[in-house]
Amino acid sequence: MGAFQDLGCRTTHCNSEVLQRCTLVFLATKPHLLPGVLQEIAPAVTRDHIIVSVAAGVTLQTLQQLLPAGTKVLRVMPNLPCVVQEGAVVVARGSCAGEQEAALLRSLLSACGLCEETPESYLDIHTGLSGSGVAYVYLFAEALADGAVKMGMPSALANKIAAQTLLGAAKMILETGEHPAKLRSNVCTPGGTTIHALHELEKGALRATVMNAVEAATMRARELGER
Ligand SMILES: NC(=O)C1=CN([C@@H]2O[C@H](COP(=O)(O)OP(=O)(O)OC[C@H]3O[C@@H](n4cnc5c(N)ncnc54)[C@H](OP(=O)(O)O)[C@@H]3O)[C@@H](O)[C@H]2O)C=CC1
Ligand SMILES: O=C(O)[C@@H]1CCC=N1
């Protein structure tokens, strides 16, 4: 609480008070709690408000149905690295939100990293790719470092190098614009270490497993939206 006040932010436990004091309102409860919060705030929502939901899977249709007709509603799907300004965020607007509201949101959220406006149908896919995807990357980072620990490197150093390896690899995809398959092929010396390691990853079906993970999280986000 102290940290918020140091930033000049006011806090309250009363949701309708937030609606009275703010025009741009972010809804960030767990998805199953959101319908109750929407019912609670609906009487205080006016056409001046811009309501933004970050809840995974909760559709614009559900949000609009639970709020007064004409409410400007947008959906946002962020990911955890927003906290270090390297997030990947997508935004979709509801039927009453216009270019002005979308532009405002894009400009605010650009401070968190990459921010793209997309059709709503991409939001659940983005959840599987990136919202949840961060966790798959952590799992991979952990496994990379564990491999090095197994071969004798101290854990703290292995974790640091694994993280820098992911950072550098990601930066090269973004800065060169090359397809990851091309960059991967550049690392493979004929008969060298990398192709031997990649063969092991293919035997473990890494690619199919990761594709299955993105599919499972996307399907789960869609399932949450149907409730
Ligand atoms: N975690 C992630 O990486 C991502 C999460 N999301 C979405 O973000 C949302 C929040 O997730 P996450 O931050 O992990 O969840 P948390 O449980 O950490 O945060 C939920 C927040 O909602 C508050 N809250 C609970 N009930 C109410 C209520 N009735 N009125 C007002 N506020 C309430 C809680 O306050 P208190 O603690 O005081 O109870 C808490 O601050 C979810 O919908 C999730 O789908 C989307 C993308 C990524
Ligand atoms: O696991 C979840 O449901 C949320 C949505 C994306 C990341 N965390």
Residue 226 banded pLDDT, cuts 50, 70, 90 = confident
Q: Which domains does the chain have, with CATH numbers?
A: 2-121 (3.40.50.720), 133-225 (1.10.3730.10)
Q: What are the phi and psi torsion angles at 49 (to 5°)?
A: -75, 150
**Portion of the chain with pLDDT greater than 90, in percent:** 91
| pLDDT for the residue numbered 227 | 67
Rounded to two decimals, what is the model's pTM?
0.88
Pocket (CB within 6 angstroms of ligand 1): 15, 28-31, 33, 37, 54-56, 77-80, 131
pLDDT at residue 1 above 60? no
Q: Which ligand is nearest to the CA of 133?
A: 2
**Probe ligand 1: pick from 13, 14, 30, 76, max atoms within 8 Å of CB?**
30
Model confidence over 156-213: pLDDT tens digits?
A: 999 999 999 999 999 999 999 999 999 999 999 999 999 999 999 999 999 999 999 9
Q: Is 28 annotated as a binding residue?
A: yes
Name which of 95, 57, 102, 97 is nearest 77 in CA terms. Answer: 57
| pLDDT at residue number 3 | 80
The pLDDT of residue 98: 95
56 lines ligand 2 (CB under 6 A): yes
What per-residue confidence (pLDDT) applies to 224?
83
ipTM above 0.90, yes or no: yes
If you average pLDDT over residues 2-12, what whole number do you get? 85
**In whole angstroms, what is the distance from residue 208 CA to residue 193 CA?**
23
User: Is 160 known as a binding-site position?
Assistant: no
Average pLDDT over residues 66-87: 96
pLDDT by residue (tens digit) across 9-41?
Answer: 899 999 999 999 999 999 999 998 999 999 999
